[in-house]
Copies of this chain bind each other. A is one copy, B any other.
Amino acid sequence: MKTYNVAILGATGAVGQEMLKILNERKFPIKELHLLASKRSAGKKITVNEKEYIVEETTANSFDNIDIVLGAAENDIAKKYLPIAVEKGAIVVDNSSAYRLDKDVPLIIPEVNPQDIKKHHGIIANPNCATIIALVALQPLHAYAKAKRMVVSTYQAVSGAGVKGIMELQQQLAALAHGKEVEIQTFQHQIAYNLIPQIGSFDENGYSSEEMKMQNEGRKILNSPELAVNCTCVRVPILRSHSESIMVEFEQPIDVEKARELLANAKGVKLVDDPKSNQYPMPLDTTDQDLVYVGRIRKDISTQANALSFWCCGDQVRKGAATNAVQIAELLIEEL
């Protein structure tokens, strides 16, 4: 079996750590593995499956002889190093948003548009986490009835802001339980016992950058330039897994039974839709696994259009980021 030299760029962050775990879990055929991070983290030892890895400082030379780079760094680091990696012959699967909308960069969800991977020029982008979760759920319905409009409200966990987001919620809850002052560093406001209707920065049109990703990335991934999305992104005080309340208007008729049948047989989806028995997707149930759970499927009673509403949850650190990236790398080595 052919094996590959793999580097994780940003290996010490929440997504980088999860990529390392998932490469091992899925037995990705690795020859050499390099964990790249900032100078500050260099020398740190990380043990996975009883094997010890030493974190290396990222430099231009880090990409010599690397076949595949998994990018888990912020946009500025991605922009600095990924072109170097490509120049040195590596193929990059990047989780930052730096290249997602570039014409030459495929934006891939393996369950949705695996065929687009062939168009790459060295960089393949991993979509936004909330977008991945929505589109894994939407794709089977879209393939049948063509989605034209979505109204989405998200309920996004603090882990979307990385390890520091998780720590901030836990520290704030602990401070409040002991009658102490709450410290705010990661989010714009206190997140414990609160909701923050802001993820990212705001555009002139009043939507946040996170909200616009659902439309901009959704159009590209579904190859559906007319898809119209009105999204509201909200940070909620839960640790992990994003949830989304989604209304979709379709071009063609589709009823609830058909939607359930399509979703029951869809790749990457688990249908959990028996509300009368209190069964529906919840973030606690979807944490630390790779499926997008879909339920609460019902006809939108507010319109004569072909419209359905549903509720979906998925682990945004795994399927929304690390697992999706490793799945892309798996598609890639089928081609190599």
- Chain A residues proximal to chain B, CB less than 8 Å: 149-151, 153, 155, 173-174, 177, 188-190, 193-198, 202, 205-208, 215, 228-230, 232, 234, 236-239, 243, 245, 247, 256, 275-276, 278, 280-284, 295-303, 307, 309, 311, 313
Contact = CB atoms under 8 A, between A and B. Distances in A.
A7 to B, nearest CB: 34
Query: Residue among A149, A236, A283 with the most chain B CB within 10 A?
Result: A236
Nearest to A206: B298
B296 A232 contact: yes
Contacts of A300: 151, 230
B195 A149 contact: no
A140 B31 CA distance: 65
Contacts of A275: 198, 202, 206, 208
6 cross-chain pairs, A with B, having the tightest CB-CB distances, nearest first: A206-B298, A153-B153, A228-B302, A230-B302, A153-B245, A232-B245
Contact of A303 (B197, B228, B295, B298): B228
A198 B195 CA distance: 19
Given A173-B177, A309-B230, A309-B232, A205 B284 contact: no
Contacts of A189: 278, 282, 284
A45 B171 CA distance: 38
A260 to B, nearest CB: 11
Given A155-B236, A237-B238, A299-B206, A195 B230 contact: no
Given A174-B177, A245-B153, A281-B197, A297 B232 contact: no
Given A198-B275, A280-B197, A206 B296 contact: yes
B173 A206 contact: no
Contact of A282 (B195, B297, B299, B301): B195
B301 A207 contact: yes
A194 B282 contact: yes
Contact of A195 (B196, B229, B236, B309): B236
Contact of A284 (B194, B197, B298): B194
B206 A256 contact: yes
Contacts of A193: 237-239, 283-284
Q: Which of A190, A193, A298, A313 has the most CB of B within 10 A?
A: A193
A243 B189 CA distance: 16
